[in-house]
Every structure is written in structure tokens, then in C-alpha cells.
Chain A
Amino acid sequence: MIVKVEGPEKFGNESYVELFNSILLDIGITRHVEAVKFIIKPSDPFFLISVKTRKAAGKIRITEIAEISQGKDGTHINIIDENYAPSLISLLWQLYGRDRIEQLSRLEILCKGIDEKEILEIAIDRGEELRKKVLDALWRLLPEGFKVRYDLSSESVITILATEYEMKEEWKRLAEEVHAEMEVLDVQGASL
């Protein structure tokens, strides 16, 4: 992972890099982050972070993570890979509503009155999953009092600029520049 920090205070810069690494490790996405750039200006004050992630390997079909069987009252899903359980159940809730989806036990889901064929069509987007995790890491990292935010997002880069009171146009331009720089970054032979 390429890490670049700009800011007037050495200790603060280093401690934020260490904190970010610990958070990534905690969430388990260290390998998925290719590059990160921080610009920390406590005197202005603003905090900018831009994260470039690896491309996630497409969609995963429901049959790869669960066993599906048709019952009298609907379709039964028996989850095999628990890592995907939260995202699967939230996707089912989103598609069919909470009334029709019942979680029978930790790994068993009953889809009331829904045909097996319909369920077999479902696929989970790995990219979306990763994106959620990266966002979670960023929320944990950003200074708590910096509530005014400006964010930019593309397929592989997320940039967040946070400040305390007024968001200045020049900071926004800076965030856009950093975002564009990260998008075209060639991680293999690049330095930020």
C-alpha cells in the first residue's frame, strides 16, 4: 500500500497513518487498499483523505455462499459462508421487505412465498461490500468534530474532505485534484 501524508505536524501525520493501518487491519481490508493520501492541516482546519482500492472480483452468486431448497411455505436458504450472511439478509430485505424474509436461526433464512428460481438469480456485488467497509474505516478515522464534509467517489477512489465550520472552495478544488490524481495513479510503478 502506498501511503502519502502532507501536513505540518510530523507526530500527528504518523499517528494518523498508524491509526488508519490499525483500522484497516481491524476491518480486514488491508489487502484491498492500494493507495491512500492524507492532507492534514490542523491550523486551517481541514482533514482530507483519499483512498484507492483494488477492483473487487465481480459478483458472487447466491449458490456459491448458500444452499437453496424449495419448501411448502417458500424458499429455504442455508448459508454456508457466514462472511456474506449480513449482506445477504440485508439484500433480501431490500428486495422483498422484512415481512417476507424470516431469519430462522443464525444461518437459516426463510423467504415466504418466494419461488426458488427467483432466489437463484440473486448475486452479491463484492465491490459494493468493499466500498461499505472502506467507508466504515473512513468514518472511524475522521476527526469527530469535523462535521462539514465534501466527498467524491468513483469506481475505485473515495475522497473525503472534512472541516469544522465553513467549507472553502479552494479546499474543494484541492480535493478534486487529489481525487483525479488518485484515479490515474499507476500503483505498480508509481509514487504519490
Chain B
Amino acid sequence: MGLLDPPGFRRNRHGQVWMHLQQGERQLVAQLLDQLAELLAPPEPRQPVDPLEELVGIDPGAVRPADPALARLFPDAYTDPEAADEFRRFTQRDLRTGKLAHLELVRATLERKDPTRLSPDEADAWLRTLNDLRLTLGTRLAVSEDGPQPFLDLDEDDPRRGMYLVYDWLTYHQDRLVHALEKGAPR
């Protein structure tokens, strides 16, 4: 993959996944990661923390997030609200930790020389983090299956228009990455 190739993710003939992003694109992703990390940051722990609960990863204070974007990142696992709340207390902390770990793996790849080869773990972290960013922006924008037109019809200075262009950029690159990872997989 050379610097003249279009930016994005690509699988080479040896089966390696490479990433090439322009400087401005790296900066954009880094800013989005900062915002997502802030959104995902765990709430202040209750004092005192029960050492046994801490050890087994139970979060007795875990509730359905009020923020719709967070509620989409941490959805109910049961349609019954009581069962969903119970399950959340046992799983939400690990899910949050996992998302933050993927985010940090992605952040580390942005600091390397461009273009850069992604390990399978890094490619997986990119895939999931691109999706978390799209879920967050998509929820904020209330995207539907009607396509891009409603957003392209917005005034030039409407902030949602710019946000949609970012969302669209993330969508394009996530799709490219899926195909890079699939190429060569048995069909």
C-alpha cells in the first residue's frame, strides 16, 4: 500500500491488513476517540467499594444509561426490564472495560508511521470501535433507513450536516475494513 493509494484499509496478497490514513483523518479519528472515551468513562465508584463485588466484576450501581447513545452501546439483554437490570449489574462493567481497551488499541495504531500494518487484534479493535463511533453518532443524529438525503438537505451551517459527513466517512471505512478482513475467507 503506497501513499498514493486511496486512504483506508486494505488486505495485501500476503493476507495482511494495512491502514493508510491522511494526517487530517488521523486527527479526526483521535478526536472522536477522545469523545467516545469520555462518554464511556465509568461513573465515580460508590464508596466504599465492596472488594468481592470488585473482584467478580459486579457493578451493583449499573443501571440503564439515561443518555440514548450510551443506552445503545449498553443495550438491555432482556425485554423484561427487571431481568435486564439484573443482567446489567453482572456484565456492564466488563463490556465497558472491553470497549475502552479496543479504543486504546486503535489509538496506539494512530501514533505509528503511515501506512501501518494492523495485527488481527488491532483490526478487530478498529472494526468494533468504528462501529461504536457510528452507533454513537447515529443515535445522536437519529439516522434511519431512509438514507442520507435528509442530512444532505440540511443548511450548510447546520452542525448535523457536518456530523453526518463524519458518520458517512466512518461507514465507508468500516465497510472497507469488513471486506479487507473477509477477503480470502471461505465463501
Q: Do these two chains interact?
A: no
